[in-house]
A and B are shown apart, each in its own frame.
Chain A
Amino acid sequence: MRVGIVGFGTMGTTHAASYQRIADCELVAIADIRPERRALAEEQHDVRSYATLRDMLSAEALDVIDVCVPTFLHREHVEIAAEAGKHVFCEKPLARSRAEGQAMVDACRKAGVILGVGHVVRFFPEYQRAKAVIESGQMGNVGTVYTYRGGGGFPTAWQDWYARYEWSGGLTLDLIIHDFDFLRWTLGEVERVFAKSTWGRENNRMEHVLVSLRFANGVIGNVEGTWLDLGTFGTKFEFACDEGLLTHDSHWSSALKSYQLQSAAHTGKPGVAVPESPMAIDPYTLELKHFIECAREGKEPMINGEEALRAVEIAVAAQESIKTGKPVRLERG
């Protein structure tokens, strides 16, 4: 499979490295409007580079387009790729609204191409293991659930697009949509959402959100996300079940901790801890490997457009609740 990536920012860079680890898959070209990113891509990977997706499509013979541009540009790029008959992998969140997401799903269906979406948390082993344990029934029924994500600080990116609500959807759509997708995958549909955010009350780069969820099966959920810089990025969850607790804390379960001493020697300040938990195959490579297989064999990926749209719906309901101060009931249809 011949792959082209559009958008060589944080995710484009990560995906580019992953494609090199996937058999029978070749990263052929990269499109980015920034010349310095194109130069970097050419230097790091043996690829040709273009300013736009259209330029890349007209010059290269590609099977797959990986869309890693900012969220507000997803629809335009997915539709161009689909019209060109290419399978599309789109970074999460799929879209900023249900209508926008539905249009993308429809465009891919109409063109007969496979659409996959990067809800990579489903490929993180701790989350996969939690889902397996819950589904095994060993813990009994889930009563309440809590998730946490953040602490790594506000993301810096092209034109500061994360800071523009109309471009990124803020933290609710960009960050904790991971947890909305994971919880829905594990516990089923969400019925009701009530949410509070510092958005509009405080500096938007320090957004912090608390969400109350009620699932169709009765589970009561509490989702927390923050852009605050608390030293290191972290994730947590707790499933409280009638037969026990299942908990995760990424800071606790880090298998490798390194402390840089040099800065202490030079500045007298303590070094910064950089926790990581290395795996034989990283989750990004796993998600792209799965997608490439699906594209090759014409199968629906685990997280197709419809699945991703359900997560967008929860995030959009939370945004609406934040705005109106009222609980929002999710209507399916």
Chain B
Amino acid sequence: MRIGIMSFAHLHAYAYADVLNQLAGVEFAGIADEDAERGKAVASQLGTRYFNSFEELLKADIDGVIITAANADHRRLTEMAAAAGKHILCEKPIATTLEDGLAMEKVTREAGVKFQMAFPCRYVPAVQRLKAQYDDGLLGRVVLLRGTNHGKMPGGFFIDPEAAGGGAVVDHTVHLVDLVRWIFQTEIKEVYAEIDRRFHDIPTDDCGLLTLELTNGAFMTLDPSWSRPDDFYTWGDLYLKVVGTNMVTEVDMMRQSLERIGSQDPNYQWEFWGSNSDYGLVKEFVACIQEDRQPTITAQDGIKALEVALAAYESAKTGKPVKLDN
């Protein structure tokens, strides 16, 4: 099994590359990058081959690719990979417009290649435990949820409105929306949002608060802000509180950490010891190719999550709740 990576614009590419190097029977076959300097440096650092263009990488003897380009480039690279008959693991959000997302779903379906969205939070064991609690009826009916996905301001293409399709809201809304849709088998039917740029001198939004109504009768607030300071003790958080009729459960993924307090700068840091969710995500992608089955995280999942983020921008612009068709 040979897998390549298309672009290292998104930082998650490094984590996925690590997993490719760990998985038995998988060869990290090479990378191509629109930034040749970055691509060459990364290839030599990670001990893999650098291809001079995406076309050359796709001509090579590989089974699949991981697309970790800027959000606006996902569609073009997906179309190229599908035309070359390569299976695809695509970074979130699926695209910057619904039109692009739908085109990606269509082109991969028609080309008969597998398309998996990169929503690694589904592979967080605490999240899986929450899903089991719900599936086993321990939570009861879900009444309300509160989620936060805070982070630091990532820079790079993330703060280019064209390349990213937005700022913090498009970057961090999709993880929690995907988890809620997946765990509780519900859709989002209404979105209200306050969005602004209040932390950084950048061209995109960096904070917001979404209030959602779900088709299962529950409501939710979701904070996707890049509100963690640059020297915050970890990258950010992924937190979800679920109030059910029988139980209240809180998932706080980064809590599986040691507190490290020293005399050097930074003098306070979290040392994460929890499971590597990227490992589960990439392993599943490889297994889907090996066993010839469809990925469980589909283009449709990517589209539905993006739809909520785009509705949030519309709500913030109009000052009104936005209804979604499901």
Contacts and interface: CB of A to CB of B under 8 A. Distances in A.
Interface residues of A, number: 31
Contacts of B144: 196, 198, 208, 210
Contacts of B200: 242
A271 interface: no
Interface stretch (B10-18, B34-42, B67-75, B207-215): B207-215
Interface of B: 143-144, 146, 150, 190, 192, 194, 196, 198-200, 206-209, 211, 213, 217, 219-221, 223, 225, 227-229, 232, 243, 245, 248, 319-321
Interface of A: 141, 143-144, 146, 192, 194, 196, 198, 201-202, 208, 210, 212, 214, 218-222, 224, 226, 228, 230, 240, 242-245, 325-327
Given A210-B211, A212-B194, 19 more contacts: A143-B227, A144-B227, A192-B194, A196-B219, A196-B221, A208-B144, A208-B243, A218-B196, A218-B198, A220-B196, A222-B209, A224-B146, A228-B243, A228-B248, A240-B207, A240-B225, A243-B229, A325-B190, A326-B320
Contacts of B232: 245
A146 B227 CA distance: 12
Contacts of A226: 243
B229 A194 contact: no
Secondary structure of the A side of the interface?
strand
Contact of A230 (B208, B219, B248): B248
B223 A244 contact: no
Nearest to B229: A244
A220 B209 contact: yes
B211 A143 contact: no
A202 B143 contact: yes
A143 B206 CA distance: 9
B211 A194 contact: yes
Nearest to B241: A224
User: 8 shortest A-B CB distances, which residue pairs?
Assistant: A143-B198, A240-B227, A196-B219, A210-B221, A220-B194, A143-B199, A242-B199, A244-B229
27 contacts: A141-B198, A143-B206, A143-B225, A144-B207, A144-B223, A194-B192, A194-B194, A196-B211, A196-B219, A202-B245, A210-B221, A212-B209, A212-B211, A220-B196, A220-B209, A221-B209, A222-B209, A222-B221, A224-B221, A228-B243, A240-B199, A243-B229, A244-B229, A325-B190, A327-B192, A327-B319, A327-B321
